[in-house]
């Protein structure tokens, strides 16, 4: 019986990263960049207004405020107060110079404007700044008097302005080789004018269900028949892992027909997964077909559920091929533990495994001795202590079934029980593997 680590070592040794392909940036989300992308020009390419306001010379605003006069009297009827703004309230106010508004520039404007000293130009967010302007005075920082403004507050040079090249300079790296392309990276690629990018493609994965008892979900099962759950569930798991999945559906029939189906998928895939092919006389016939196509080893793994599985490399390209249990819940666990890490490695991910945290159980768990347990659970967090807590959903007591799919739908984690443990007491700390996309 192999350990989980021994089986994973055999599997990951077969990982081969596909050759990079150049695709449109609109299709690159979630893929790993296969090139170092540098900016070839400044971004933004010109000084632009960061907000709606007035393009000005900061020195003009400062001088306008410094030119203010204090009234020197608290008498609102004093002749010295005539023409002084706000004098009627009896407070000490100052008169500010006015700047004429000599034009308007909107975003995308192609008409150059040159600002003269002691002038202002109305600008919209994203608009190119007029020549000689070095700041934008926000709209509510000025009183408007017809086609003139009286500044209320000073602005510093460069304030409320996106300077040319402040985001990206020529030669700056905008996307590193090996980086996962997210929304921000797609935006950066567009910002530097790249319509396509070199990426490592998603590994192509074929999912096949095997079994005489299976019927597709658009048919009514007869006596002794069950719906094909595995091809749908495993195809979803493959897509969630980042693979480009082709769901074949149910495979059965004569050996020659099965061979044709499998050979067809080996040509088009980097990974092939066959569920329901590790038990019974029919599985033995399938394994004879697989043995003609390459090296296939079916063995027991020191884990539960899903202790019996097969792995080999088939076809001229030695495509990694998995044989998983027929039980859907066991097949999903086996996929999570064995298949998903291979997908991540082929995708070029630096971390192939899910995030693991420590959590305290809120119920007892019984585990099969000498096998590492992967028990479905619900992970939560204590509001006060922020400590992780986990509620086991399967194998909580000795003799309970571990194959039920219903609890899998409620699970957001797998509780990892070491092979040398056969029991976990409530409150005991265990390793917990996340099962969501954010892990």
How high does pLDDT run on average in the chain?
86
Q: Does residue 282 share a domain with residue 375?
A: no
Tell me the pLDDT tens digit for each residue of 109-148.
888 788 899 999 999 999 999 999 999 999 999 999 889 9
Considering only residues 265 and 87, tell me which one the structure prediction assigns the higher pLDDT: 265
Q: Does residue 313 share a domain with residue 210?
A: yes
Q: Does residue 12 share a domain with residue 25?
A: no
Q: Where does residue 82 rank: exposed (0-12), middle (13-18), buried (19+ CB within 10 A)?
A: exposed
User: Which range of residues forms the domain containing residue 114?
Assistant: 44-65+97-166
Q: Which CATH number do you get for residue 147?
A: 2.170.190.11
Q: Does residue 227 share a domain with residue 293?
A: yes
- At residue 102, the pLDDT reads 93
Q: Does residue 250 share a domain with residue 196?
A: no
- At residue 25, the pLDDT reads 95
CA atoms within 13 A on the CB side of 406: 1
- Kindly state the tokens that stand for 88: 């009627």
CA distance 27 to 349: 18
Q: Whose CA is closest to 402, among 376, 424, 428? A: 376
Count: domains in the chain: 4
Q: DSSP secondary-structure letter at 291?
A: H
Tell me the pLDDT tens digit for each residue of 280-316.
776 788 888 998 999 899 989 999 998 999 999 999 9
Q: Is the pLDDT of residue 89 over 70?
A: no
Tell me the pLDDT tens digit for each residue of 150-194.
999 999 999 999 998 888 888 888 899 888 899 999 999 998 899
CA distance 332 to 80: 88
Q: Does residue 318 share a domain with residue 217?
A: yes
Q: Is the pLDDT of residue 335 over 60?
A: yes
Q: Which CATH number do you get for residue 392?
A: 2.40.340.10
Tell me the pLDDT tens digit for each residue of 11-70.
999 988 788 999 999 999 989 899 999 888 888 889 999 999 999 999 999 988 887 544
CA distance 261 to 100: 79
Looking at the chain, the whole-number percentage of residues with pLDDT higher than 90 is: 62
Q: Does residue 246 share a domain with residue 195?
A: no
Q: Does residue 112 share a domain with residue 207?
A: no
Q: Is the pLDDT of residue 205 over 90?
A: yes
For residue 72, tell me if it sits in a domain. Answer: no
Pairing verdict, β 388-392 and 423-424: unpaired
For residue 107, tell me if it sits in a domain. Answer: yes
For residue 84, tell me if it sits in a domain. Answer: no
Residue for token digits 């070491």? 418
Mean pLDDT confidence for 386-393: 92
Q: Is the pLDDT of residue 352 over 80?
A: no
Q: DSSP secondary-structure letter at 339?
A: I
- Cβ neighbours around 177 below 10 Å, total: 14
Q: Are 29 and 186 in contact (CB under 8 A)?
A: yes
Q: Does residue 48 share a domain with residue 9?
A: no
For residue 316, tell me if it sits in a domain. Answer: yes
For residue 233, tell me if it sits in a domain. Answer: yes
- At residue 79, the pLDDT reads 43
- At residue 71, the pLDDT reads 40
CA distance 219 to 399: 34
For residue 174, tell me if it sits in a domain. Answer: no
Give the end of a domain, one of 325, 347, 369: 347
pLDDT band at 395 (very low <50, low <70, confident <90, very high): low
Q: Which CATH number do you get for residue 289?
A: 3.40.980.10
- At residue 123, the pLDDT reads 95
Q: Does residue 191 share a domain with residue 260?
A: no
Q: Does residue 341 share a domain with residue 369?
A: no
For residue 37, tell me if it sits in a domain. Answer: yes
Give the end of a domain, one of 313, 347, 381: 347
Q: DSSP secondary-structure letter at 129?
A: P
- At residue 383, the pLDDT reads 87
Q: Does residue 221 share a domain with residue 108?
A: no
- At residue 406, the pLDDT reads 60
Give the end of a domain, one of 309, 325, 347: 347
Distance from CA of residue 201 to its chain's centroid?
A: 16
For residue 387, tell me if it sits in a domain. Answer: yes
Mean pLDDT confidence for 238-244: 93
């Amino acid at each position: 019986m192999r350990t989980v680590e021994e089986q994973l070592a055999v599997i990951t040794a077969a990982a081969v990263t596909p050759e990079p392909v150049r695709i449109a940036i609109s299709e690159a989300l979630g893929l790993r960049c296969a090139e170092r992308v540098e900016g070839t020009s400044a971004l933004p390419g010109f000084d632009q207004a960061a907000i709606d306001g007035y393009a000005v010379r900061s020195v003009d605003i400062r001088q306008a405020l410094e030119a203010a006069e204090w009234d020197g009297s608290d008498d609102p009827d004093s002749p010295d107060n005539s023409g002084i703004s706000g004098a009627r309230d009896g407070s000490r106010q100052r008169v500010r110079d006015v700047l004429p508004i000599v034009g308007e520039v909107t975003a995308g404007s192609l008409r150059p404007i040159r600002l003269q000293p002691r002038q202002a130009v109305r600008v919209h967010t994203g608009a190119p700044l007029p020549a000689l302007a070095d700041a934008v005075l926000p709209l509510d920082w000025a009183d408007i008097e017809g086609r003139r403004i009286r500044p209320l507050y000073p602005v510093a040079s460069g304030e409320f302005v996106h300077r040319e090249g402040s985001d990206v300079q020529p030669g700056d790296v905008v996307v590193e080789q090996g980086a996962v392309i997210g929304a921000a990276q797609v935006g950066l690629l567009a910002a530097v004018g790249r319509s396509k990018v070199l990426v490592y493609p998603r590994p192509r994965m074929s999912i096949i269900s095997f079994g005489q008892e299976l019927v597709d979900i658009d048919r009514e099962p007869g006596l002794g028949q069950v719906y094909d759950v595995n091809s749908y569930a495993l195809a979803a798991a493959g897509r969630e892992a980042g693979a480009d999945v082709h769901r074949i559906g149910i495979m059965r029939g004569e050996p020659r027909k099965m061979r044709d189906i499998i050979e067809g998928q080996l040509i088009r895939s980097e990974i092939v997964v066959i569920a329901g092919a590790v038990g019974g006389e029919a599985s033995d016939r399938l394994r004879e077909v697989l043995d003609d196509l390459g090296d296939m080893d079916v063995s027991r793994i020191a884990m539960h559920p899903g202790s019996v599985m097969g792995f080999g490399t088939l076809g001229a390209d030695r495509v990694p091929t998995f044989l998983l249990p027929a039980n859907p819940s066991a097949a999903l666990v086996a996929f999570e533990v064995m298949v998903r890490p291979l997908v991540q490695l082929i995708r070029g991910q630096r971390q192939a495994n899910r995030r693991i945290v420590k959590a305290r159980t809120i119920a007892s768990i019984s585990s099969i001795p000498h096998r590492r347990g992967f028990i479905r659970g619900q992970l939560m967090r204590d509001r006060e202590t922020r400590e992780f807590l986990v509620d086991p959903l399967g194998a909580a007591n000795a003799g309970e079934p571990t194959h039920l799919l219903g609890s899998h739908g409620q699970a957001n984690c797998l509780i990892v029980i070491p092979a040398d443990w056969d029991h976990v007491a409530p409150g005991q700390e265990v390793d917990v593997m996340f099962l969501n996309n954010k892990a």
